[in-house]
Structure 1
Amino acid sequence: MATVQPTSYNGIHYFAQGWKLIRLPGIRRFVVIPLLINIILLGGAFTWLFYRLNEWIPRLMSHVPDWLQWLSYLLWPLTVLSIVLVFSYFFSTIANWVAAPFCGLLAEQLEGRLTGHPLPDSGWLALVKDIPRIMKREWQKLAWYLPRALGLLLLYFIPGFGQTVAPVLWFLFSAWMLAIQYCDYPFDNHKVSFQKMLGALRQHKTANMQFGALVSLFTMIPLLNLAIMPVAVCGATAMWVDRYRQQLAMPAVRSAEVKQVTSR
């Protein structure tokens, strides 16, 4: 597997960059559709959730064994956190499915802006032609995610231990999965295979976990979570350009860039 380009920037830097990059002239119009999808799906889901929590929490806490009642003061906030974590990731996944083609287009246009070298066959027409392949890639990510997520959810059924350990493990898993989810858009634009992308991301796992953890955290914060999808796409694209693009970009892209430089 090809080595990836080292960089001194960490995941926090790229997350902060995402908030700046969504405001770039010429990029803002590609932000609109992912932003609207996220507002409708994630905003509506969280509004419904906060109305239901008062009913769900007492019901869940009633299943705590009597010998663990003394831990209620700790288990109650962990239970709330667990619900919000699972709920936020579930609905952000749905939003990403719906918005996947538009997120890919946003990553494509931003990469062209950051590098000065637009991808070949970019634009809305190429997007429509590419939708079947994009959806196949989303299924591939889901197939990787589901067995691991189900294993973590089973921990919640272990009294005491599950309610204390599972939220921490779920947050870490969500951070890694969200890093994969958003970094995949620029990787997939260059037809980098899913397994090759995983290998590249693991080489900088700390930075990617930092990035994914911030995305996961902001996904749980009302109002801020409505803008998190395009922010994460832009941050992940900046990371791709800095860390991975030089070695993993499509040969056709590198060849076109070399020709453009030598013709000057």
Structure 2
Amino acid sequence: GSIMGWFPDWMSALYWLVWGIAFIFVMALVFFFFSFIANIFSSPFNSLLSVKVEEHLTSSAPVSQVTIWQVVPRAVGREISKLLYVLPRLTLLVLITIVPGVNIVSPLLWLMFGAWMMTLQYADYGADNNDVSFRALKERLQRRRFQAVLFGMPAYLLLTIPGVNLVLMPIGVAGGTRFWVEQLKH
């Protein structure tokens, strides 16, 4: 039969625990992979939306040295930077989630991390339109951690509601651009 035939009966619970953890990890990876792909395809449109929102808020368009031919490669590069930022933190959260005792703080950490990532994702469009690097954006957000988490929390929670999550991206881009203009630009 199966590999479980090699182990004592009392280890069957461990089998289901490992499968559960693996399932959660794979689902998180699938979610982030599809989000990554969606963000790459929508990035040029989101950048344009962000420019228009910033122009509306400040009465002037952001000044960028990026040409139309650089938009897609730059967007892909920024999305890869975000992915490289997320993966080690995601792995650490999964490990915290599976360690007994420590995992009691796991739900709060997931909530805070999700809120932080929503702010990072949506404020990045305003930063990118103003030629601010991803690293500089992270530094600015770290100086305003509390405001960043407060901005990202509703977006993260709305992401879990079917239907609402489909219209969240343009609303998030507009809100992230406003957050950029009001909290991070200067």
Q: Please say whether Structure 1 and Structure 2 have the same fold, judged by a TM-score greater than 0.5.
A: yes
Q: Secondary structure at the match of 1:192?
A: coil
The answer to whether 1:147 aligns with 2:88 is yes
CA displacement at 1:63 relative to structure 2? 2.8
Structure 2 equivalent of residue 215 of structure 1: 155
* Aligned residue type for 2:169: M
Match of 1:135 among 59, 68, 76: 76
* Aligned residue type for 1:230: P
Match of 2:48 among 105, 123, 133: 105
Q: Can you list the C-alpha shifts for 1:216-260, whole angstroms capped at 9, x where unaligned?
A: 100001111111111110001111222233x3xxxxxxxxxxxxx
Provide structure 2 residue ranges, at least 5 long, that are not aligned to the other structure.
Answer: 1-12
The Cα RMSD (Å) is 3.0
Contact kept in structure 1, 2:64 and 2:129, CA below 8 Å? no
Structure 2 equivalent of residue 183 of structure 1: 123
Q: In the aligned structure 1, how far is the partner of 2:120 from the partner of 2:46?
A: 14
Structure 2 equivalent of residue 33 of structure 1: none
CA displacement at 1:133 relative to structure 2? 1.4
Match of 2:17 among 41, 51, 63: 63
Contact kept in structure 2, 1:101 and 1:131, CA below 8 Å? yes
Q: In the aligned structure 1, how far is the partner of 2:14 from the partner of 2:53?
A: 45
Contact kept in structure 2, 1:108 and 1:189, CA below 8 Å? yes
Structure 1 equivalent of residue 6 of structure 2: none
Contact kept in structure 2, 1:218 and 1:225, CA below 8 Å? yes
Which protein, 1 or 2, shows the higher relative CO under an 8 Å CA cutoff with sep ≥ 6?
Answer: 1
Distance 1:227 1:99, change over 3 A: same
Structure 2 equivalent of residue 225 of structure 1: 165
Contact kept in structure 1, 2:115 and 2:149, CA below 8 Å? yes
* Aligned residue type for 1:110: V
- Could you tell me the percent identity over the aligned residues? 36
Q: Can you list the C-alpha shifts for 1:116-170, whole angstroms capped at 9, x where unaligned?
A: 2124579xxx5454211121111111111111111111223324653x4323211
Distance 1:88 1:206, change over 3 A: farther
CA displacement at 1:186 relative to structure 2? 0.6
CA displacement at 1:98 relative to structure 2? 2.5
What's the TM-score once normalised by structure 1's chain length?
0.55
Q: In the aligned structure 1, how far is the partner of 2:14 from the partner of 2:41?
A: 31
What's the TM-score once normalised by structure 2's chain length?
0.76
Distance 1:147 1:130, change over 3 A: same
Structure 1 equivalent of residue 39 of structure 2: 96
Contact kept in structure 2, 1:89 and 1:174, CA below 8 Å? no
Contact kept in structure 1, 2:119 and 2:148, CA below 8 Å? yes
Contact kept in structure 1, 2:36 and 2:79, CA below 8 Å? no
How many correspondences in the alignment? Answer: 168
Structure 2 equivalent of residue 70 of structure 1: none
